[in-house]
């Protein structure tokens, strides 16, 4: 009888503290390896998404130029230019960019004739350089995608 009670006690026994610590350590190591990879993939996705979106706005702007003979109007950052209605969505333009910040058009400002880009992005210049690598010449000082001022990154439609 006594041996039967002991076997019942042993079958109800849970994990030891050592076993739990080993499992938690393994989970922690896996998380430590996965989180930096996840962050890198997320940053690369944002760079690619910004490149895609800015090229879409540039293409819509070029279509507008061809059809109207006018440059897209200069607007306040994040304000949709009504002249561009039908070329892209107002909701898209007034929402945050994949890098944070606001969309903006420039006309005869910042040393360019016409440009579309992002103002005050929340990610750093390294991420924007990655965007430039994807869509242009890998140099934010030259090419079509440029840094025009401290917090202004634009696709230059016309110099």
Is the pLDDT confidence value at 15 over 90? Answer: no
Q: What is the mean pLDDT of the chain?
A: 88
pLDDT in tens, 93-131: 988 888 889 999 999 988 899 999 999 998 888 888 999
Given this model, what pLDDT does residue 9 score?
Answer: 55
Q: Are 84 and 53 in contact (CB under 8 A)?
A: no
Alpha-helical regions (H) of the chain? 2-11, 17-68, 90-94, 125-135
Q: Write down the pLDDT at residue 1.
A: 53
- pLDDT band, residue 138 (cuts 50/70/90): confident
Which residue in the block uniquely carries the two structure tokens 């897209």? 72
pLDDT of residue 124: 84
Backbone phi and psi for residue 144, each to the nearest 5 degrees, phi listed first: -80, -40
Across 123-143, average pLDDT: 89
- In DSSP terms, which residues pair with 116 in a beta bridge? 105, 155
Q: What is the pLDDT of residues 43-73, one digit of tens each?
A: 889 889 999 999 999 999 999 999 999 999 9
- Asked if the model's pLDDT at residue 5 lies above 70, the reply is no
Answer yes or no: is pLDDT of 7 > 70. Answer: no
- Stretch 26-30: mean pLDDT, rounded? 92
Q: What share of the chain is helix, strand, coil (3-state, %, to 5)?
A: 50, 20, 30
């Amino acid at each position: 009888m006594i041996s039967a009670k002991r076997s019942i006690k042993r079958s109800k026994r849970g994990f030891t503290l050592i076993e739990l610590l080993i499992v938690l350590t393994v989970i922690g190591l896996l998380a430590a390896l996965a989180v930096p990879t996840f962050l890198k993939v997320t940053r690369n996705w944002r760079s690619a998404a910004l490149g895609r979106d800015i090229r879409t706005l540039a293409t819509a702007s070029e279509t507008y130029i061809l059809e109207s003979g006018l440059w897209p109007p200069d607007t306040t950052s994040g304000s949709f230019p009504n002249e561009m209605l039908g070329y892209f969505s107002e909701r898209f333009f007034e929402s945050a960019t994949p890098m944070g910040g606001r969309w903006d058009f420039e006309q005869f400002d910042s040393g360019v004739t016409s440009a579309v880009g992002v103002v005050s992005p929340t990610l750093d210049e390294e991420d924007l350089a990655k965007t430039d690598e994807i869509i242009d010449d890998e140099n934010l000082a030259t090419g079509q995608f440029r840094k025009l001022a401290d917090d202004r990154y634009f696709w230059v439609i016309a110099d």
